Amino acid sequence: MNTRRIVALLLGGSLIFSYAPFSQAWLVLPVLFGLLLTTRHATPYMAWRIGFYFGLGWFSTGLSWIYVSIDQFGGLPVIASIAVLAVLFLYLSLFPALALFLWKYFERWLGVFAIGILPLTWLVSESIRSWFLTGFPWLELGYTQTDAWLGNYAPWLGGVGITVILWSIAISLFCWFEQQRKEFGLVAFGLLIIPFALPWVSPIKTTGEEARVLLVQGNIEQSVKWNPDQHWQSLMTYLDLSRPHYPTHDIIVWPESAVTMPEPYTDDVLKNIHKALVDTDTTLITGIIDYQNSQYFNTMIVLGLDAPYQPVEPYAHGHTNRYQKHQLLPIGEFVPFEDLLRPLAPLFDLPMSSFTRGDYEQANLRAKGFHLAGAICYEIAFPAQVRANVSASTDYILTVSNDTWFGASHGPAQHMQIARMRALELGRPLLRATNNGITAVVDAFGNELARAPQFTSTALSAEVPMVRGQTLYQLFGSIGAWLIAVLTALVSTLIALRRSQARSK
């Protein structure tokens, strides 16, 4: 392994510290600058290898938390667990390799100006990563800025746009360093200071109204959660944490699959809970497994008041006031080539790993007159899908999860960081209920209003402000990010062609 590949591996590995829980957002720019410096004289093939090793460092450190679930629940020997992870990391490393390869490939015709194409090639490769083989968009560079001032770009360009901005700043600084031309420094300076002014022109305004919300964290051990003998005990844990708060809260939320006995086998119990909620003028949203027509759906259902004063649609199995998960987690919720893989190891035959997808776009959940856009667990990492379910009438984004699979690793912190980016992008407060953390409430500007301690059985109460208005990202999605990347590539190409024509005269 030559020096450049070692440097690329270390640069990629260091990115772990820019994400939660370390949150050293400043680190991204030196890393990208270093990657440009390492690749500046590379051939396309060398750039591919540099990008591959950069990705290998980036994903093997950033996603190392996946080992916790494979080791504890996968039923594989240590060597086999490491091999499964290695395949994932090697696959994901192909995408930064592709981005750098395309940059250097175009350098054959555009010379040094081809560097202006890099934000576009990176955006293309990351877009492919987000949908190919159902997609795995975790660790997008934009998430590193959730707590930094560059995060102010999120309502305008989304997290993907922040990635384009980061590359634009790094390239401007690199060109300033290489060519000593002050205009590049001014571009970088402008991109760095613009976000300080963006909150002053935010279209999102608070209304003065609020909802009193209770998020319940059961802290049920994953090893016993799906044991049939545990069903009623788990349900009682959530009921005991919730019932004292019925009269004082508008919305109560239980996490993903908090009710482990599937519908319709719990209909009688759920109808009794629904009646108690109606009698106390409140609403409960819970994760549950829905069994319909020989198919299983990972679902959220609403019990109690769907309208402000009385239920318009009382609870019954199959009622419309529900959300069914669309973006399923490979292996965890569906198994590709399952006839081949399921017999190989417990990893490929986990409990509840044969779900059916819900619709991509679904109606908001109705809870005591409030409207909530749903996302279950892994779905919150897919910004386009979350955006498709948020409208001008949406009051809150609601995401429920079960991060118990990943213990005390940095995975749950990254998951929370991703969820907060959705609140920033779409300008809506976010409610996040999990089994053992991180359970939290986030306002429409990405600030945490309340957080429950991890690994405790508790209920988190918060008064959550309502807002109105729509962000540019909510209206137009990632079009702004693509426009910036395409325009930068076009300008660089035109300058290169003009220089080439001038030299030929």
Contact between residue 423 and residue 441 where contact means Cβ atoms under 8 Å apart: no
In 246-347, which residue ranges form alpha helices assigned H by DSSP? 267-279, 338-341
Residue 182 known to be catalytic:
no
Which three-class secondary structure state does DSSP give residue 208? strand
Cα gap 338→53, rounded to integer Å:
31
Which residues are within 8 A (CB) of 82 and not within 5 positions of it... i.e. 6 or more apart? 67
Q: Residues 124, 496, 125, CA angle at the centre, nearest 5°?
A: 10
Q: Find the catalytic residue in 126, 325, 333, 425.
A: 325
What's the helix, strand, coil split of the chain in %, to 5? 55, 15, 30
Q: Residues 322, 324, 327, CA angle at the centre, nearest 5°?
A: 150
Cα gap 199→204, rounded to integer Å:
9
C-alpha radius of gyration, the chain, whole number: 24
Residue 256 known to be catalytic:
yes
Q: Find the catalytic residue in 175, 225, 377, 425.
A: 377
Q: Find the catalytic residue in 256, 263, 333, 425.
A: 256
Q: For 351, how many CA atoms within 13 A lie in the half-sphere containing its CB?
A: 14
Contact between residue 14 and residue 27 where contact means Cβ atoms under 8 Å apart: yes
DSSP secondary structure letter of residue 497: H
Cα gap 212→208, rounded to integer Å:
13
Residue 225 known to be catalytic:
no
In DSSP terms, 166 is beta-bridged to none
Cα gap 456→435, rounded to integer Å:
9
| Ramachandran quadrant class, 437 (left: phi over 0; alpha: psi -120 to 50; beta: rest) | left
DSSP secondary structure letter of residue 372: E
Active site positions, annotated:
256, 325, 377
